[in-house]
Amino acid sequence: MIPTNPPTPASLVSALEGQFGPAHAWTLALFALFVLVTLVISIRMRRTTRGAVDYFAGGRGFSSTQNGLALTGDYLSAASFLGIAGMIAIQGYDGFLYSIGFLVAWLLVLPMAQLMRNTGRFTMADLPAFRMRRMRVRLACSISTVTVCVFYLVAQMVGAGALVAVLLGLHDGGTFLGLSADQARTGAIVLVGVLMIVYVMYGGMKAATWLQIIKAILLLTVTGLLTALVLSLFSFDPRALLGAAADASGHGSAFLEPGLRLGVEVPGDPVQTAFNKLDLISLGLALVLGTVALPHILIRFYTVPDGRAARTSVNRTIVMIGAFYLMTLALGFGAAAVVGSERILAADPSGNTAVPLLAEEVGRLTAGPVGAAVMLALVSAVALATILAVIASLTLASSSSIAHDVFGHILMWGRPRESQEVGVARFSACLVGAVAIVLAVQARGQNVAFLVGLAFAIAAAANLPVIVLTMFWRRFNTQGVEWGVYGGLSATLVLMLLSPVVSGRTHPVTGESLSVLPAWIDIQVFPMENPALVAVPIGFACAIIGSLLSPERDSARFTELRVRSLTGWGADQG
Amino acid sequence: MVEYMEGTYRSRGGDPGEGAVADVTWSESAGRRERADAAYAWERLSVDPRFVKLRRRFALQVAVLVSLFLLSYLTYLLLSAYARDLMSYQVADSVNIALLLGIGQFLLTFVLAWAFGRFSARAIDPLAAQIRDRARDEGALSGRVSRR
């Protein structure tokens, strides 16, 4: 409890405020059950995982519905479940912009899924390497894959630590069973990290896919249940819900319009206003363009038998993700109306606890204290399961890339034994996992939400030009791939480093730093928080100029790639 | 078939079932000729009228999808950034234009995805199957994706 708050009546004391209660026990029990079931599945999958195709691509035997569920699970991270609803609860309509960007992005994945399935084998690097057949191409793609995955991983794991600390009620220096907030965070990060390494090492793609499928079903079910309960409080009238949210938020009708957080209009500062608006557009572009090129989404298309199944699975994904984000809208406004933004902000300034608090409140209104404990436990356990599943996929994507591209094609000149490649993949899963755990423990307690945006921006600026030009441009060549990847990657990183996210933003009253670096370091040059609007064109320009400056061209390979990718000839085996 | 231009390395025999591994007893010129044959076969396939039709249909389909998508999404983004007065216009009790446009983006996504899937299944998949059959009949092309 923050001391400045008025004392709350005992009936309103939340489980998120410190004492070990039935809700915590239920959360732990449910999460342990989830881990147990998925571990049993992993161990069973271990028996049927024999060759590289089984380990990296799940034996290419998943149906399009299964893969659609797995894609949904892959895509819906904790940022989607807790973050977006929390943003809507605090800032109103602007959180909805994120949902829209995350969903419509899949329209760009739709035509690419089939082409990628028909040309690649295991990793993203397979696509350009089909044409160029150069080690340098694989190295470049591998570097960008691992970079994107590690940033995303660290963001998710730090999120897991923060979630656990908040659930145990440790957000303001309390202790829980003798644990301080810091120890709880570290413990949670190490725990989910070790679990994810076990899944990936043990079961490979099959285990990761089943983990995702189970998680996606759980997440959609729990979200649906919670949404139905929230709407029932407002007798299923969305207008009543919106009105109540606007009244409770303290912003009035502005709460239901864009502009509270993104593209803020600063009165009397037209320059800053213009940059804020460009920032909104830049964010929208990053969300939409990054999805196609996220490595862990891309390798999912190799798990289905043919291009047609890949396309159908994207269609299924769009329906499920769309339904989920519409429910998030109801949850976000519901949290604003039922819980109130003051309590949400008091529990966690980033709003991540909006959904757990809402679940508890709704449970209490429908079934008393027992209902509160059960609903809170359900939501918390699902949130932990969500994080665990996503980081397992990310680890798998990066370890596949290290094993198949760097080891298999660079160290072994493209002639590794399958068993060696799989062994290296298991080893590099350990390595990537360990690195991610160390980084996440270092960054615990920091606000690392921007890392997810950074991962999307890198995918959009470094991977997307390479994928698109490989598929559609005859003149593309090795130097183009290298320039595109390294140019897009470094442009994004440099712009991010010089942006207000890293340094230069201070609280106008207290003078505290609102950026990552302390207040006395100010290297901010670039005025926008989202670099995509500048970085993506740089990535494309580098790829095109690099290609044109190099005399190399191989028209025959491009012809073969085009026939194969459109007809699917030869893609149904191996 | 796997030719690395740097660090070229030939396995002695290769693992069985790894696709088109060049036989070490072949001379360099035979390997080159085989590659040239395959390239010629792909070239022939790519000018097959059915393939040209397939390519054009796919290009048209993708162009329509991407242009509709970009048009609607960018319109939405620009309106959210620069047309705040319009977005805040209340249509009904606490339902404003911004919310309706947002939900509209969702509906449009569902419709476009459904239409794309339907068009692909009707106009593209049968053509692709015909071309695969032809390639199988010709038999000049190794069906396997060479081990990359």
Q: What is the pLDDT of residue B14?
A: 36
Residue A14: is its pLDDT beyond 80? no
- Contact residues, chain B, for A256 at CB < 8 Å: 94, 96, 98-99
Please name the member of B8, B46, B113 whose beta carbon is closest to the beta carbon of A559: B46
Residue A260: is its pLDDT beyond 70? yes
Confidence of residue A4 (pLDDT cuts 50, 70, 90): very low
Of A573, A570, A499, A571, the C-alpha closest to A534 is A499
Q: What is the pLDDT of residue A415?
A: 76
Q: What is the pLDDT of residue A3?
A: 38
Of A340, A239, A308, the C-alpha closest to A6 is A340
Q: What is the largest CA-CA distance in chain B?
A: 81
Residue A112: is its pLDDT beyond 60? yes
pLDDT tens track for A427-461: 999 999 999 999 999 988 777 778 888 999 999 99
| A238 in contact with B, Cβ within 8 Å | yes
> Which of A132-141, A248-257, A299-308, B104-113 has the largest mean confidence?
B104-113
The alpha-helical segments, DSSP class H, found in A105-134 are 106-119, 126-132
3-state secondary structure string, A388-404? Answer: HHHHHHHHHHHHHHHHH
| A133 in contact with B, Cβ within 8 Å | yes
Mean pLDDT of A20-38: 86
Q: What is the rounded CA–CA span in Å between residue A410 and residue A133?
A: 11
Residue A409: is its pLDDT beyond 70? yes
Q: What is the rounded CA–CA span in Å between residue A452 and residue A339?
A: 27
Which helix (H) or strand (E) covers residue B90, if one does?
A: strand B90-92
Mean pLDDT of A202-219: 92
- Contact residues, chain B, for A563 at CB < 8 Å: 42, 45-46, 51, 131
| CB atoms A414 and B2 under 8 Å | yes
Tell me the DSSP string of A84-104. IHHHHHHHTTHHHHHHHHHHH
Query: For residues A304 and A117, is the Cβ–Cβ distance under 8 A?
Result: yes
Mean pLDDT of A416-424: 83
Query: For residues B105 and B73, is the Cβ–Cβ distance under 8 A?
Result: yes
Residue A154: is its pLDDT beyond 50? yes
Question: Of A179-183, A200-204, A327-331, B116-120, where does mean pLDDT reach its minimum?
Answer: A179-183
Query: For residues A487 and A469, is the Cβ–Cβ distance under 8 A?
Result: no
Mean pLDDT of A166-183: 69
Q: What percent of chain A has pLDDT over 70?
A: 94
Q: What is the pLDDT of residue B43?
A: 87
| CB atoms A567 and B98 under 8 Å | no
Residue A5: is its pLDDT beyond 70? no
Best residue of B6, B11, B80 to probe chain A, by most A CBs closer than 10 Å: B80
Question: Of A178-187, A197-206, A449-458, where does mean pLDDT reach its minimum?
Answer: A178-187
Count CB neighbours of A65 within 10 A. 13
Q: What is the rounded CA–CA span in Å between residue A180 and residue A153?
A: 24
| A274 in contact with B, Cβ within 8 Å | no
| CB atoms B6 and A256 under 8 Å | no
- Contact residues, chain A, for B32 at CB < 8 Å: none
Question: Of A47-61, A137-151, A197-211, A352-366, where does mean pLDDT reach its minimum?
Answer: A47-61
Mean pLDDT of A143-147: 95
| A419 in contact with B, Cβ within 8 Å | no
Q: What is the pLDDT of residue A350?
A: 78
Q: What is the rounded CA–CA span in Å between residue A30 and residue A172?
A: 26
Of A401, A419, A33, A388, the C-alpha closest to A207 is A388
More confident residue, B40 or A176: B40
Q: How many CB pairs under 8 A join A and B?
A: 192
Q: Determine the distance from the C-alpha atom of residue A392 to the mean position of all C-alpha atoms in its chain, rounded to a whole number.
A: 12
Q: What is the pLDDT of residue B8?
A: 36
Which residue in A has a C-alpha nearest to residue B50's C-alpha?
A567
Best residue of A94, A98, A104 to probe chain B, by most B CBs closer than 10 Å: A104
Q: In Å, how far are A189, A259, A292, B17 from A251, measured between CA atoms?
A: 36, 12, 36, 67
Residue A150: is its pLDDT beyond 90? yes
Mean pLDDT of all residues belonging to chain A: 87
Distance from CA of B70 to the nearest CA of A (A): 10
Mean pLDDT of B15-24: 42
| CB atoms A571 and B145 under 8 Å | yes
Mean pLDDT of A516-532: 83
Distance from CA of B119 to the nearest CA of A (A): 12
Mean pLDDT of A481-491: 96
| A36 in contact with B, Cβ within 8 Å | no
CB under 8 Å to A482, separation ≥6 — which residues? A136, A137, A140, A546
| CB atoms A567 and B131 under 8 Å | yes
Q: What is the pLDDT of residue A15?
A: 59
Mean pLDDT of A202-208: 89
| CB atoms A242 and B141 under 8 Å | no
